[in-house]
């Protein structure tokens, strides 16, 4: 049995069949669905895989901590349901002007001295 590839000029003419329009349409639709549902986003994630975001206590700032590790001193987990998932999302914007105090209560970020 001889294999035939595109570069094999000795293949009989007309042996390759063209895909039908419905097959081409199905392939394009499949690629589109795959791209839209691949779990990726045009937004940047707040943290990388295997990390979660933490918030600076009493001041502006945030960081990412490896899953399974406690937040470093001076940082706390975001309040439940108020964790930013992507840069620029609702909670990311909220926490640009807010933080938590030592009791975990949301507060406005204190103004910097000298302003």
Number of domains in the chain: 1
More confident residue, 7 or 15: 15
Q: What is the dihedral of CA 65, 66, 70, 72, to 10 degrees?
A: -40
How much is the pTM? 0.60
Q: Mean pLDDT in the chain? A: 78
The token pair that represents 61 in the structure block: 């700032």
pLDDT, tens only, 23-78: 555 555 555 544 444 455 557 999 999 999 999 999 999 999 999 999 999 999 99
Structure confidence at residue 110 (pLDDT): 82
| Within-domain flag for 26 | no
| Within-domain flag for 60 | yes
The token pair that represents 85 in the structure block: 């998932």
| Within-domain flag for 70 | yes
The token pair that represents 15 in the structure block: 């042996």
More confident residue, 10 or 7: 10
Domain region containing 62: 51-108
| Within-domain flag for 96 | yes
């Amino acid at each position: 049995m001889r294999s035939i590839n595109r570069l094999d000029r000795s293949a009989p003419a007309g042996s390759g069949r063209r895909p039908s329009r419905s097959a081409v349409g199905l392939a394009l639709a499949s690629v589109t669905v795959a791209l839209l549902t691949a779990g990726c986003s045009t937004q940047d994630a707040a943290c990388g895989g295997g990390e979660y975001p933490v918030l600076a206590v009493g001041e502006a700032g945030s960081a990412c901590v490896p899953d399974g590790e406690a937040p470093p001193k001076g940082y706390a987990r975001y309040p439940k349901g108020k964790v930013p998932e992507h840069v620029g999302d609702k909670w990311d914007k909220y926490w640009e002007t807010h933080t938590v105090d030592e009791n975990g209560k949301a507060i406005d970020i204190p103004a910097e001295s000298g302003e």
